[in-house]
Structure 1
Amino acid sequence: MRAMTLGLMIGMTVGIAVGWWRQSLELGVMIGIGLGWAFGKLISKYHLRSTIKTALQGGSRPEVDGRQD
């Protein structure tokens, strides 16, 4: 659920920016919803949620840093 929310936030931001640039709010909303759905599915599929969560908390993942516990 959080991945879809993050995807929608990213997609709507891009969509509204494109709509503003093209001066068509309807186009921006449609692009935003489509991109949001796609980004949400992509984030969910590749399990980037834990990586993003760790990055936002300022932590690091041992398997990425090359450390071993």
Structure 2
Amino acid sequence: MWFLEMFRSNLFEEVSLNQWMALTPKEIVESNIHVGPQVMDSLRKEKWPVVKYPGFSYSPKNDE
């Protein structure tokens, strides 16, 4: 797994869309982005910084 973070500022604020939507009332999220209960039930209220997606793999390209 690779992560790259670069900033030109001394200020850093992390915002998790997953956590933000989980802490917002369900009715507001559902009515604005038109998702069902399956999506809403999968959101996490606690921070979850790294999530592995089971259907994706990444192999770096080797240009030799």
In our comparison, the structure showing a higher alpha carbon Rg is 2
> Which protein has the bigger helix share?
1
TM-score higher than 0.5:
no
Q: TM-score, normalised by structure 2?
A: 0.28
